[in-house]
């Protein structure tokens, strides 16, 4: 994704993270006329950093879950839980007016990477 790609939440203020501006149906950023290209790119950079931080937090919790599974002798894979995560991802995508296929692909990747790490640590 290019550094100046627009964030497509479109859910008004409820869809904003850290004060990010929403994108209208026409694709223009609310308040963009007051912001320079450099300011918009800085906002994308900040959002990207937040995304990486959230991935790190999610990975830590997944590793903790893997430890609990090991201690209890539970299988690495829980297809029911994976299905619930994917369903929730689709619901969240719809809520924030983001492409559901994109969001589900990201979550599939996160789940698969967590499963690989869990198998390697067993």
In this predicted model, what pLDDT tens digit does every residue of 25-79 receive, in sequence order?
445 556 667 889 999 999 999 999 999 999 999 999 999 999 999 999 999 899 9
pLDDT score recorded for residue 4: 44
pLDDT score recorded for residue 34: 81
Spatial separation of the C-alpha atoms in residues 116 and 112, rounded to whole Å: 6
pLDDT score recorded for residue 117: 84
Spatial separation of the C-alpha atoms in residues 78 and 74, rounded to whole Å: 9
Q: Is the pLDDT of residue 21 over 70?
A: no
| Average model confidence (pLDDT) across the chain | 82
Spatial separation of the C-alpha atoms in residues 78 and 65, rounded to whole Å: 11
Spatial separation of the C-alpha atoms in residues 122 and 19, rounded to whole Å: 42
For residue 23, list its beta bridge partners: 29
Summarize the confidence of residues 84-100 as an average pLDDT: 98
| Residue 107 structure tokens | 């979550």
Q: Is the pLDDT of residue 15 over 90?
A: no
Superfamily of domain 12-121: Chorismate mutase (1.20.59.10)
E-strand spans in the chain? none
Q: Which helix (H) or strand (E) holds 73?
A: none
Size of the chain in residues: 122
Summarize the confidence of residues 81-92 as an average pLDDT: 98
Q: Do 82 and 107 contact (CB within 8 A), yes or no?
A: no
pLDDT score recorded for residue 119: 79
């Amino acid at each position: 994704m290019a550094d100046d790609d627009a964030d497509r939440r479109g859910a008004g203020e409820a869809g904003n993270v850290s004060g990010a501006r929403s994108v209208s149906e026409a694709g223009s950023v609310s308040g963009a006329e007051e912001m320079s290209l450099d300011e918009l790119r800085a906002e994308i950079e900040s959002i990207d950093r937040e995304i990486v931080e959230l991935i790190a937090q999610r990975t830590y919790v997944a590793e903790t879950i893997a430890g609990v599974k090991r201690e209890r002798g539970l299988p690495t894979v829980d297809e029911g839980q994976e299905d619930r995560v994917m369903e929730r991802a689709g619901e969240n995508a719809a809520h924030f007016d983001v492409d559901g296929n994109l969001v589900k692909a990201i979550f599939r990747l996160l789940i698969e990477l967590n499963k690989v790490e869990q198998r390697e640590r067993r």
